[in-house]
Amino acid sequence: MMGSVEKMGNYNLKQEVTDKYSLRGRVFSKLRADILSGKYKDHEELKEVAIGEELGVSRTPVREAFRQLELEGLIQIIPNKGAYVTGITAKDVQDIYMIRSLLEGLCARWATEHITEMQLEELEENVYLADFHASKGHLDQMADLDNRFHHILYEACNSRQLERLLVDFHEYVLRVRKKTLSNGGRGKRSNDEHRQIMEAIKAKDGRRAEELAHEHMINAYDNMVKNGLYHIYPAEGEENPGTEEKDKP
């Protein structure tokens, strides 16, 4: 069977002719990450042709990715107008953290039961390295280690469904997390909380690990509110320029 080669950024995507779903998924993941990182601003119009040219793909996978992004609430498609970024609001972030506070607690409890020696060793090394980078003010390394700490727990919880949910929620707030880790000594306090969670898991104290992981999420959200959450994300109910224009007589 003849194959098709499509390029996306620096990647060569060698797909079978019939494998359009995989290509769509890759385009969707790239656009989703770009929206959540702030590359595309709220209310910005996404143009199929320009994005297709940038990623080296036809308009079809871009259009299919748009539909999936709309289902997630990240863009709004207005007939005969275009696709506009809606992104996520400060209220969305609040909701995500309240939900995460419960799910991360459950994850920590389950991880206590299923974590491997290798995963536990990686947690310990992660906390040690994060302490070092926090003392040096290395924000990028702190953010990477913070991200990895949570993903180790997601992998250790032994639940594909819970891992999938938490990975999605985690990606939604990467933009604000990195910024607030540098404010008010939060990076050091966050890693101290990681250490306590790790020690509870190491001691096989599932209930304590759950409580600490829950508190960790609440503390993280409180810090965000104090240090710029509402300067990063729009308030609930802000109008989309495409919608406003559409509604004009």
Q: Compute the distance between CA of residue 101 and CA of residue 88 in angstroms, rounded to an integer.
A: 19
| CATH at residue 84 | 1.10.10.10
How many domains does the chain divide into? 2
| Domain match, 176 and 80 both | no
| Domain match, 95 and 205 both | yes
Contact 88, 236 (CB under 8 A): no
| Domain match, 84 and 102 both | no
| Domain match, 205 and 220 both | yes
What is the pLDDT at residue 1? 40
The model's pLDDT over 82-130, given as tens digits with 9 standing for 90+, comes to 999 987 888 888 999 999 999 999 999 999 999 999 999 999 999 999 9
All residue ranges of the chain with pLDDT < 70 are 1-21, 178-179, 182-184, 228-249
What is the pLDDT at residue 188? 87
Give the rounded distance of the alpha carbon of 192 from its chain centre. Answer: 22
| CATH at residue 174 | 1.20.120.530
What global pTM score does this model have?
Answer: 0.75
> Which residues lie below 8 Å from residue 47, measured CB to CB, with a gap of 6+?
82
| Domain match, 214 and 130 both | yes
| Domain match, 50 and 120 both | no
From residue 195, alpha-carbon distances to 4, 59, 178, 209 in Å are 49, 48, 19, 11
From residue 89, alpha-carbon distances to 21, 42, 73, 113, 235 in Å are 29, 10, 11, 36, 6
What is the pLDDT at residue 228? 67
